[in-house]
Chains A and B, each alone.
Chain A
Amino acid sequence: MLRPFEIHEPGTVEEASVLLARFGIDAAIYAGGTELLLIMKEGLAHFPHLVNIKTIPGLDEIALSAEGDELQIGPLATHWDLERSPTVRKHAPLLAEVESQVANTRVRAVGTIGGNLCFAEPHSDLATLLLAWGATLELSSSEAQRVLPAADFTLGLFETARQPNEILTRIRLPLLSENTAGAYRKFSTHERPMATVAALLEVKDGIIEDVRLAVGSVGPLPIRASEAEALLRGQSIEGATFASAAELAASASDPMDDLHGSADYKRQLVRVLTAQALMEASGRAAGETNEG
């Protein structure tokens, strides 16, 4: 049951940061509340002070950078916003595609991308996708601002590099090069996914120039499958050994046994999803090459 709390409505990031510093462990940032209120209702956490950042203008903006080379996403953009935004659909269609499959309609309608990343729940579609994508995250406090690669942000189960007085203020997604194609696969039996795989392939003249492969949801945090990436780099797209790469990703994924399933089964899922994601990405790459 929800115990009483006080809600604060700062008008700026600075004010929010000051409030967070003042109340310390008694405070939490409140965005869509889809995670926060759940744990508070279950009695797993209690915060006498909630800092509602939805009163800070501009934090839900989605726009192309001035240079036109990256997508800048405000943390308050909801899954729905990202799924439907014409800017996202045009410049990062893979993100829109992934967003359309996150959670359920109710969570998508109010849950934000910032909340998803900052909660660091291990079954996150976005954490997996952004790791492969090479996104960077801007963190701001009343004292400073810093930028972290997605890979350095998530540290473990429900654990991030964010300091208590910091607010995630922007997610920066570099636009994919013309000859890069991506695909995303997930498998769920419950509300949250049991295994997630994101694959990005850069293909030039039929050769795989670069691969970025991330595997998530099976362990405490998403990982890059670097051995699989190394295997594929330099292979021709036609003769690419996706099955072997999938095998490497599966062994690298280090899944844990839990209510969703056994480690054995999750490894199988990673194997299957990786092969599928790579196949689809290569198909897309081929399609783009043909068009271009």
Chain B
Amino acid sequence: MSEGIGHNVPRVDARSKVTGEAIFTGDLKLSGLLHGKVLRSPYPHALIRRINTDRAASLPGVVSVLTSTDLEDIDPYYGHSIKDRPLLAIDRVRFVGEPLAAVAAEDEVTAEQALSLIEVEYEDLPAATTLEEALSDDAPRLHETDTLRPGLFHGLGELNPDGNICYQHSIHRGDLAEAFKQAEIIVEQEYTFPAVYQYAMEPHTVIAAWEGKSVTVWASCQHPYLVRAELAELFDLPVASVRIIVPFLGGGFGSKSYTKMEPITVALARKARRPVRIANRVDEAMVTTRRHNMRCWMRTGALADGTLIARHVRLWMDTGAYADNGPRVVATAADAAPGPYRWKSFQVEAYCVYTNRPPSGSYRAFGATHLQWIGESQVDEIARQAGVDPVDIRIQNLLRPGEEVRPGGKALDADLVGDVQKIADALDWGSPKPPDTGRGLGVGLLAAGARPVSTAIVRMEIDGHATVLVSSTEMGQGVRTVMSQLASQELALPIEHIRVPGGDTWITPYDRSTGASRSTTLAGMAVHRAAREVRQQLLEIASQAFEVALEAIELRDGAAWRGDQSLSYSELIQFHFGFTGGELIGRGEVSPGGNKGSYAEGPVFWEVCVGGAEVRLDRDTGRLHITKLVSVADVGQAVNPDLVKAQEMGASMQGLGNALFEEMIFDEGQILNGTLLDYHIPTTEDMPDQFISRLVENEDGPGPYGIKGAGEGALAGVPAAIVNALADIGVQVTELPLTPERVWQALREAEAEHDDGGSPS
């Protein structure tokens, strides 16, 4: 069937999106809807001495003003990994942009005006606005870490908090000291990775309607079921009394994973007794969540022939004032740190650090993006010192399928050598290079899949059309199209007879989350199984109707066939119920099965992160021009190759932004480039001259048909490739992004060193 898996079916939501019919949260109109605005702290760290809301509350058009005193009947702390965050600041603010009050008014202008009438008296506190400050001995403490409570979904074992460190994680194998003793080449360096903004075109938007003992929330969130659990706990409601509805999302990239603006909106609606809408602006979205900036020290040892034997890594990630997803980001970074090589020994010590900056959370390929460029630049440096080609050193040292990646975790489930060879091939590796041009590649792994818990329902209605109920969020990645194709494959039903509505926790069944490249693999498996159940029922009904054995029946094009006789699905369902109504229901689930599905035993699969780049350097200005960008999508089996390629391109462009120019610049905890005029995101003008994406389908994934997830890997692979391509021209950098100025400085330093070396002294 031409619309099942492996085909470039046009996106099922394309038409509605380009015509503007598609509904996003911000488009919804509810009667009596109020507009909420949030008052945010101008201080990185301060005590709140007094809040006076009288003038704001008496402004005509203002319905409610919310402060933490309205939360005294609930336990107002949330946080899925660490319950460290009050819904609104209580007694003290910990970052510039922290919400401390909110207003609901008849219109946005009034709400905004009311904010300016709220009087707040602060008492400035010493702040730790950088990692260095937060880690120093006399650092101001952000939280009483000894009393930190684990969140509902931390799932990472012991937190081990200490001072401003809210979580630490380490992995190791072998005898490190012994391995380094054997090393003949040792590379050691410190690195810096910047804070980055995820930039989804649609900023966080939430509408909440409080209805007595239940609440309905329309939210631009990636993980409706996790948000539901946190809201239920915060407001002390049974989970079924919290209904989360997720319309289309205008991009997520991790910025809408877990709970963000939902608690404030619900609290405001609860007080106002009317539905309330809060829509972040871009500058507010930037202080809602971001990517962790990081400091990292890495040491790699090898034998003279380039055999990699030992690696030691220490890394500190700035999770901001509240943990958000920091602990998991740190654990994933630790997993990515060794790189996919056959080490005798490695050790990684990773720390999640509180600072007085906006909180950091998930962003596509977190952890792997942070670490891969560092590890891979050390591999290239070793190759240079050993006189081995960068491709050869990887083939020599890369893990092979089935080999252990880290103790206790899943063995390698991908052909990395094949992937690297494809990159090299696409880059014309070894062919002569034009002047000031360099080539580089990077390979790594990302622990993907999160927890393998997903369910789905497929309903086949009386007219033979099917509805797939699955809670994966469509955020531009094409999940509704992919789920349609998976159902189409099993049901032998044309795509236009399949409907995949958005998530709604009253209707679509449980799915852990939409992230970690998991949906096609895990939610897709649930859909596949649910569709299979319906398929089985259709076969059974047809076998009764035709009075033949099941095996004699073929399902094709929305009908059951026995030879040239056919009964449509609609006819089969009517036959079954003896009535012109009724429906078939199939259910599917994915659970960890035998093991506990814990992070330590994970991941569900290792997502391959490979990238290649060819860059040209303008020595006068330090500007890099990307002539070629290459990615390999190692996906097991592509459900829709065009969608995979679009994912590769998107991730590559974000990787390019991370590598070349994206950086949130802070001064004393205040963002200096907090608008899109000053914060440059990749645009069409930043596209490489050539973009090549190679598809690898080895059917080696845990999903149906050997599918495994994609869409993140290139974001980690591309910065590594660009950094290595630049080093290939002779410029080594230890700090991202590679702004022209930074590259120019590195060039000047390299030249100065060169001059020194040449002088007779």
Residues of A within 8 A of B (CB): 1, 3-4, 38, 42, 104, 187, 189-192, 259, 261-262, 265, 268-269, 272
Asked whether B680 lies within 8 Å of A187 as measured between CB atoms, the reply is no
A184 to chain B, nearest CB (A): 16
Contact A190 B677 (CB under 8 A): yes
What CA separation (Å) do A262 and B745 show in the bound complex? 11
Residues 678-721 (chain B) with a chain A CB within 8 angstroms: 678, 680, 683
Contact B665 A261 (CB under 8 A): no
Contacts of A191 in B (CB 8 A): 677, 680
For A3, what are the chain B residues with a Cβ–Cβ distance below 8 Å?
109, 112-113
A-B contact count (CB 8 A): 41
Assuming the A-B contacts A1-B109, A268-B621, are A259 and B665 also in contact, with contact meaning beta carbons closer than 8 angstroms in the complex?
yes
Chain B residues near A1: list those with CB within 8 A: 108-109, 112, 281
| A4 CB contacts on chain B under 8 angstroms | 109
CB of B197 to closest CB in A, whole Å: 14
- Stretch from B46-54, B256-264, B302-310, B736-744 at the A interface: B736-744
Q: Does B675 contact A (CB under 8 A)?
A: yes
Query: Are A38 and B680 touching (Cβ within 8 A)?
Result: no
In the complex the two chains form, is B673's CB within 8 Å of A259's CB? yes
B661 at the interface (CB under 8 A from A): yes
Q: Chain A residues near B240 (CB, 8 Å)?
A: none
- Cα(A190)–Cα(B675), bound, Å: 12
Closest CB in chain B relative to A239 CB, distance in Å: 23
Q: Helix, strand, loop or mixed for chain A's interface?
A: loop
B680 to A269, Cβ gap below 8 A? no
The reply to whether B678 and A189 form a contact with Cβ atoms under 8 Å apart is no
A42, A190, A262, A272: the one contacting B621 at CB < 8 Å is: A272
Nearest A-chain residue to B739, judged by Cβ: A189
Q: Is the CB of A259 within 8 A of B661?
A: no
CB distance from B576 to the nearest CB of A (A): 57
Q: Which 9 A-B pairs have the closest CB atoms?
A: A272-B620, A265-B741, A261-B741, A190-B680, A1-B112, A191-B677, A259-B673, A259-B678, A272-B621
B62 → chain A closest CB, angstroms? 16
A262 to B620, CA, bound (A): 16
A11 to B673, CA, bound (A): 40
| Shortest beta-carbon distance from B505 to chain A in Å | 32
Tell me which residues across on chain B come within 8 A of A265, comparing CB atoms. Answer: 740-741, 744-745
Assembled-state Cα–Cα distance A190/B677 (Å): 7
Known contacts A189-B661, A259-B672, A269-B621; 4 additional CB pairs below 8 A are A42-B675, A187-B623, A191-B680, A259-B665
Q: Do the beta carbons of A190 and B108 come within 8 Å of each other?
A: no
Residues of A within 8 A of B621 (CB): 187, 268-269, 272
Complex Cα distance A268/B413, Å?
Answer: 50
Find the A residue at minimum CB distance from B675: A42
- Chain A residues in 8 Å Cβ range of B112: 1, 3
CB-CB < 8 A to B678: which residues of A?
190, 259
A38: chain B residues at CB < 8 Å are 677
B108 touches A268 (CB 8 A): no
Give B677's nearest chain A residue, CB to CB: A191
A97 CB to closest chain B CB, in angstroms? 18
Q: Closest CB of chain B to A260's CB: distance in Å? A: 9
**What separation, in Å, do the CA atoms of A1 and B108 have in the docked complex?**
8
Residue of A nearest to B660 (CB): A189
Residue pairs across A and B with Cβ atoms less than 8 A apart, 18 shown, are A1-B112, A1-B281, A42-B675, A104-B683, A187-B623, A187-B740, A189-B661, A189-B739, A189-B740, A190-B677, A190-B680, A191-B680, A192-B677, A259-B665, A261-B741, A265-B740, A265-B741, A272-B620
Min CB–CB distance A243 → chain B (angstroms): 12
A172 and B677 CA atoms in complex are apart in Å by 31
Residues of chain B within 8 A (CB-CB) of A190 are: 677-678, 680
Q: In the bound complex, what is the Cα–Cα distance between A228 and B318 (angstroms)?
A: 48
How far is A262 from B744 in the complex, measured between Cα atoms in Å? 12
Alpha-carbon distance A191/B683, docked complex (angstroms): 11
CB within 8 Å of A: which B120-164 residues:
none
Contact of A268 among B661, B739, B744 (CB under 8 A): B744
Find the A residue at minimum CB distance from B283: A42
Residue of B nearest to A271 (CB): B620
Minimum C-beta distance from A3 to chain B (A): 6
Q: How far is the CA of A42 from the CA of B745 in the complex (A)?
A: 34
Residue of B nearest to A2 (CB): B109
Q: What are the residues of chain A within 8 A of B281 when measuring CB–CB? A: 1
Quick one: which of A104, A190, A192 has the most chain B CB within 10 A?
Answer: A190
For the complex, what is the distance from the CA of A259 to the CA of B680, rounded to whole Å? 12
Instruction: Return A192 CB to nearest CB of chain B, in Å.
Output: 8
> Which residues in B have their C-beta under 8 angstroms from that of A262?
741
- A120 to B677, alpha carbons, bound, how many Å? 17
Closest to B116 in A: A43
Most chain A CB atoms below 10 A, which of B623, B678, B683: B678
Whose C-beta in chain B lies nearest to the C-beta of A265?
Answer: B741
Within 8 A of A (CB), among B579-637: 620-621, 623
CA distance A259 to B678 in the complex (A): 8
A191 to B502, CA, bound (A): 36
- Taken together as a complex, chains A and B put the C-alpha atoms of A42 and B741 apart, in Å, by 29
- Considering only residues 636-687 of chain B, those with a C-beta below 8 Å from chain A are 661, 665, 672-673, 675, 677-678, 680, 683
Chain A residue at smallest Cβ distance from B113:
A3
Which of B620, B623, B665 gathers most chain A CB within 10 Å? B620
